[in-house]
Every structure is written in structure tokens, then in C-alpha cells.
Amino acid sequence: MAPRNIKRIIDQIDDLPTLPRTVLKITELVNNPKSSARDLASVITDDQVLTARLLKLVNSSFYGFPQKISTITGAIVLLGFDAIRNLLLTTSVFDMFSSRYKDQRIIQERFWDHSLGCAIGAKVIGSYLRYEKVEELFVSGLLHDIGKIVEMLFLPDDFIKVMALAKRQNSLIIVAENEVLGFTHPDVGKLLSEKWNLPLKLMNILEYHHQPELAGRFVRETSIIHLADILARAIDLGSGGDNKIPALNPEGWTSLNLKLNMLEPIVHEIEREFQDINWVVTGKM
């Protein structure tokens, strides 16, 4: 991204949102090798909403633990520090961005379904590839288009123009963003990652999910999100804000080493899991 454009984002989105204090504290604890499960549990249990949410998530079919987990320490031991941080981060991000305006809310719900579709897609592709940290892929999928939500909330008039232009010229949002704003949602995602001290891998995924060939040592993870984004659109899970399906990046595809005939079972699995999980993450019961 050209320096001129970075300045433009900062000028226009003058106050990028900050994470809630508890989540920042949790991120700090997770980054510190000296923290114990007890330290982490005490920060989480100070916040009743986070505590309830976390227990609901770990007891959902998504994780499939056979016994009921009734304490936060138990949840931390079973899931691990990183997974806990990621879960709390994701739910907080979506809370923070939930809009008060009805029109925006409808678009946001469609975005949310798209993000969830991409998250599940990434998790399913990851398990076919025997990728170790599929939960990390899930979070990356949920957050991959977070820049669009920021644009919608902070630059609502410009974002309406972006959506209208994408529709008129039948292009991807990212093309229209470049024309209207001079920067794109991956650029905004990168800035947010810096501001929130997110892990480098996640930052790379947000920045390069439309150009996985540029993701360097994270090319594989970024390509998984890139493919999951395409599949979520192909099977109509929510909407990414435009009606186009991005072309599959050849280098990204090669880096995955996936067989073409695996795509069909992957898609079926995504559809099945999408039905199962939607209520868990959105809290609709």
C-alpha cells in the first residue's frame, strides 16, 4: 500500500476502535510465557458476559467434548491459551461492531454469515490438510473481512458508494474500494492488526487473503482462507458485499496441495457445519 493511502485511512478513520480492556489484558497474558491458567481464569471470571459466553462455546457441539465443562479453568486447560484468546477476541470484535442502524444491521448480518461460512470453510479445509491449528484458521476466517465492517461504520457514505459501484460494474468490493477510497479492506485489516497487537500470522492473512502469493511464510494459511472465502461465496453463505466470486489464485491453490475431487466433500461438510454452528456463535438459541 502506498504511504499516501495509509495516511488517508488514518485521516478518515481517525479513531480506529480499541478492544475492550479485558480482551487486551487477556492478549497480554497469553503473550506472556510466565502466565498461568489461574491468572487467565481470574481475568476472565471478572467479566460475567465473557465467562458465560466462553462456557457456552466450550460446551457446544463445535468442540464436542464428552463431559460438561463447568469452570473457566477447565475450559482453559482443555482449549489452551491461544484458543481462548482467539474466541474472546472474535466475539468482542463482533460486539464492538454491531451497528445501531437497521439498514447497516441487515448488511452486517449478511457479512457475518459470509465470515462464518469462510471460518467454517477454513476449518474444514484445514482438517482435510491435517493442519494442526484449525481453530486458528477458524478465527482468521471470521475476521478476514473485518476491514469492510470498519469502513461501513466509520465511512458510511463512502461505503454506500463502494457497494453501489461494485454492483454497477459487477466487480469485487476490493476493486471498487480502490476506486472510491484509494485503499481496501485488507489495508484496514492490517492497520487494525497492528493497533490490536494481533499475531503476525493473522495480520498476514487479513492483509493478503486476496493475494495469497504475497503472504511469504504464511502462504499456506492465507491460501486456506482465500479458498474458504471463494467456497463460502460459491455456496451462498451470506454475502461479502458484492455478487462476484474471486478467481482462485493459482499459486495459492498449488501451495495447498489439495486434490480437485476433495472439493465436493469439503463443500458438503461446510454446509452441514454451517447449520450446526450458526446459533452457537451468534448467541441465538
Q: Is residue 147 a contact residue for Fe ion (CB under 5 A)?
A: no
Contacts 24+ apart (CB under 8 A), 243-251: 243/167, 243/170, 244/166, 244/170, 244/171, 244/172, 246/172, 246/210, 249/211, 249/212, 249/213, 249/223, 251/212, 251/213, 251/219
Tell me which stretch binds Fe ion (CB under 5 A): 32-40, 55-63, 160-168, 239-247.
239-247
Residue placing its CB nearer to Fe ion in the complex, 20 or 141: 141
Residue 159, CA distances (Å) to 62, 95, 165, 172, 184 in order: 34, 20, 10, 13, 11
The reply to whether 145 sits near Fe ion by the rule CB under 5 A is yes
Considering the rule CB under 5 A, would residue 177 count as an interface residue with Fe ion? no
Is 212 among the residues that bind Fe ion (CB under 5 A)?
Answer: no
Q: Is 221 in the site for Fe ion (CB under 5 A)?
A: no
Task: Compare residues 47 and 273 and give the one whose CB is closer to Fe ion.
Answer: 273
| CA gap 227, 247 in Å, rounded | 10
Nearer to Fe ion by C-beta: 240 or 252?
A: 240
Residue 20 interacts with Fe ion (CB under 5 A)?
no
C-alpha cell at 46: 471478572
Using the rule CB under 5 A, give the single segment among 58-66, 132-140, 142-150, 259-267 that binds Fe ion: 142-150
CB nearer to Fe ion: give 60 or 178: 178
Stretch that binds Fe ion, among 74-82, 137-145, 195-203, 249-257 (CB under 5 A): 137-145
229 touches Fe ion (CB under 5 A): yes
- DSSP string covering 77-139: HHH-HHHHHHHHHHHHHHHHT--SSHHHHHHHHHHHHHHHHHHHHHHHHHHHTT-S-HHHHHH
- Min separation Cβ 21 and Fe ion, Å: 29
- Stretch touching Fe ion by CB under 5 A, among 4-12, 83-91, 155-163, 225-233: 225-233
**Among 240, 256, 270, 281, interactor with Fe ion by CB under 5 A:** 240
| Contact (CB, 8 A) for 115 and 138 | no
- Contact (Cβ atoms closer than 8 angstroms) between residue 37 and residue 77: yes
Contact call for residue 117 and Fe ion (CB under 5 A): no
Does position 187 interact with Fe ion (CB under 5 A)? The reply is no
Residues forming the site for Fe ion (CB under 5 A): 145, 229, 240
